[in-house]
């Protein structure tokens, strides 16, 4: 491998840390990365595309901004350009991210707040969905609701899903260490009360189902919009 190829591979791995905020999946897995190149001089250029022309501009802005931040932090990348294509707000988003202007200044007169709370809201949904992924197999294997409520994160079997749940909780500033309760309210970080546990678990299941349904819909729309166009991993 050449040095440029190594950096290109590192850039792709960096992009794999960027998630669609609503779907909580990497943009690389979702097929949102149309191209990723790095010149011998370390100039990275990434093109993003979304399932529809009218995807929410706040979601799109988060992905473009996160992609830029991930690339510019990649060793060997000296400059980065992230271009969103085929989107009604592409110019505002691309120019705003390039200028590091923030969402409000990028949409001057249209946006009234930055996107921190939106990001947090979707992270809370990801925590709920992750709770279902981790807890439902435990209940199916015979763990009682009382036992489940008493469990900590280190009591649960190690898995990719558990690691992902820990990460999402950490990103929200919620308890994520080994001794932290397994089932918590993502709004407060507190252990869910006994009486609230059945409703909480139902909400977690519905949240997961909604995210998975939206992921399937978006994947289908993207495939229809860009048939046969798959970015190969460097």
Each residue's pLDDT, cut to its tens digit, for the chain (234 residues) gives: 457 689 999 999 999 999 999 999 999 999 999 999 999 999 999 999 999 999 999 999 999 999 999 999 999 999 999 999 999 999 999 999 999 999 999 999 888 899 999 999 999 999 999 999 999 999 999 999 999 999 999 999 999 999 999 999 999 999 999 999 999 999 999 999 999 999 999 999 999 999 999 999 999 999 999 998 655 555
DSSP 8-state class, residue 113: S
Q: Which domains does the chain have, with CATH numbers?
A: 3-113 (3.30.300.130), 117-217 (no CATH)
């Amino acid at each position: 491998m050449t040095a440029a190829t190594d950096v290109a591979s590192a850039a792709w791995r960096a992009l794999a840390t960027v998630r669609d905020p609503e779907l909580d999946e990497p943009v690389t897995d979702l097929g949102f990365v149309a191209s990723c190149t790095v010149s011998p001089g370390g100039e990275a250029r990434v093109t993003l595309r979304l399932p529809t022309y009218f995807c929410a501009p706040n979601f799109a802005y988060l992905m473009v901004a996160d992609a830029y931040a991930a690339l510019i932090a990649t060793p060997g990348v000296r400059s980065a350009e992230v271009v969103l294509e085929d989107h009604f707000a592409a110019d505002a988003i691309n120019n705003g991210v390039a200028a590091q202007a923030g969402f409000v200044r990028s949409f001057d007169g249209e946006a009234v707040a930055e996107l921190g709370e939106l990001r947090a809201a979707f992270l809370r949904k990801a925590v709920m969905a992750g709770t279902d992924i981790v807890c439902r197999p435990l209940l199916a294997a015979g763990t009682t609701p009382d036992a489940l409520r008493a469990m900590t994160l280190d009591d649960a079997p190690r898995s990719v899903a558990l690691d992902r749940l820990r990460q999402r909780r950490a990103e929200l500033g919620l308890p994520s260490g080994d001794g932290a309760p397994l089932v918590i309210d993502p709004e407060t970080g507190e252990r869910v009360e006994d009486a609230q546990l059945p409703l909480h678990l139902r909400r977690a299941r519905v949240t997961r189902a909604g995210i998975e349904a939206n992921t399937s819909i978006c994947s289908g729309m993207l495939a229809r919009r860009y048939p046969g166009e798959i970015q190969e991993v460097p």
